[in-house]
Amino acid sequence: MTSTALMNASYTLDSGQKLNYETVKNYLVSGDGNATDQEILLFIELCKAQRLNPFIREAYLIKFGKKQANIVVGKDVFVKRAHKNPRYEGMRSGIVTITKDGDVNEREGTLKLPGETLIGGWCEVYVRDHKFPIRSTVSLEEYSKEQATWRTMPCVMIRKCALVTALREAFPEDLAGLYDVSEMDRMPDKLPEKEVDTKGITPQQRGMIMGIAEDAGLYDTSNVKDVTKLTEFCDSNGYDLVNLTYDEGNEVIKLLSDYNKRKKGVVIDVDATEVNDAEEQKEEAEQISMDEVK
């Protein structure tokens, strides 16, 4: 991926916020993996094409380890967009169950009666000028996962899968290429819903600060609540550890790195350069004095 392509990958949201490579990489990747440049570019382009705002959790870029990243949308995007479409005329959805006698029932809502076994979900979307409703029936065995939500609320989850599938088929111009987390495999049980604050430090910055501070003897992971020494270090350099901004976070990382090098007796290039400059200035001054004497 060329640097030019990444630099040009930018999207200004209706709110005025700018979505670009740096903001996605630093704030908007969920999971424990590092998204590739191509995955970040695809995420930006999808948000741009579908007018999604990831800062208010309308879209997620999820990456685990070295597996391919997944792009999913927030839980309310499908329904909100359907309601905004002038051709939308309502929908019905529910679950599919089977009794001990083999009778299959389709029930609206998510109520499963005693003695019934859940086998799927269904949804009908009514669209203006369509003779028949857009219908989707999905099988539980194709979607059910091991996450807690599927174990505790299988009726709710399978109905949701049927709903988003039907809405995507009914309004492809609004929802094409968008998927809910319930449809994806190996997804986190719960995605963050709090709005993203791009003014504070990133999790990566926080990890670097704590790691360098521990190496420098200013923090101990065995007592994570005690940040007294690190707080004093930041205060002495004019920074508030609790309320660091993104740029301040980078400055603190540099200060901690320099402090750690000095503590270990490592020569810091910046200081060495300053010393050399001072010596050169002294020699120049002496040479001028000798020339004046002559």
pLDDT tens track for 86-96: 999 999 999 99
Task: Decide if 253 contacts 205 (C-beta within 8 A).
Answer: yes
User: What is the pLDDT, as a whole number, of residue 127?
Assistant: 97
Q: What is the pLDDT of residues 73-131, one digit of tens each?
A: 987 899 999 999 999 999 999 999 999 999 999 999 999 999 999 999 999 999 999 99
pTM above 0.95, yes or no: no
User: What is the pLDDT, as a whole number, of residue 221?
Assistant: 81
Handedness of CA 243, 246, 247, 252 (dihedral sign): positive
User: What is the pLDDT, as a whole number, of residue 31?
Assistant: 82
User: What is the pLDDT, as a whole number, of residue 268?
Assistant: 46
pLDDT at residue 272 tops 60: no
User: What is the pLDDT, as a whole number, of residue 174?
Assistant: 92
Handedness of CA 275, 279, 280, 282 (dihedral sign): positive
- Measured between alpha carbons, how far is 236 from 256 in angstroms, rounded to an integer? 12
- Measured between alpha carbons, how far is 282 from 286 in angstroms, rounded to an integer? 6
User: What is the pLDDT, as a whole number, of residue 276?
Assistant: 46
User: What is the pLDDT, as a whole number, of residue 27?
Assistant: 82
Question: What's the pLDDT band for 190 if we cut at 50, 70, 90?
Answer: low
Mean of pLDDT over the chain:
84
User: What is the pLDDT, as a whole number, of residue 6?
Assistant: 66
Q: What is the mean pLDDT of residues 241-253?
A: 86
Q: What is the mean pLDDT of residues 12-22?
A: 83
pLDDT at residue 225 tops 90: no
Q: Where are the beta strands (DSSP E) in the chain?
A: 10-12, 18-20, 29-30, 59-62, 70-73, 88-98, 104-108, 117-127, 134-139
pLDDT at residue 145 tops 60: yes
pLDDT at residue 275 tops 60: no
% the chain with pLDDT above 70? 83
% the chain with pLDDT above 90? 45
pLDDT at residue 153 tops 80: yes
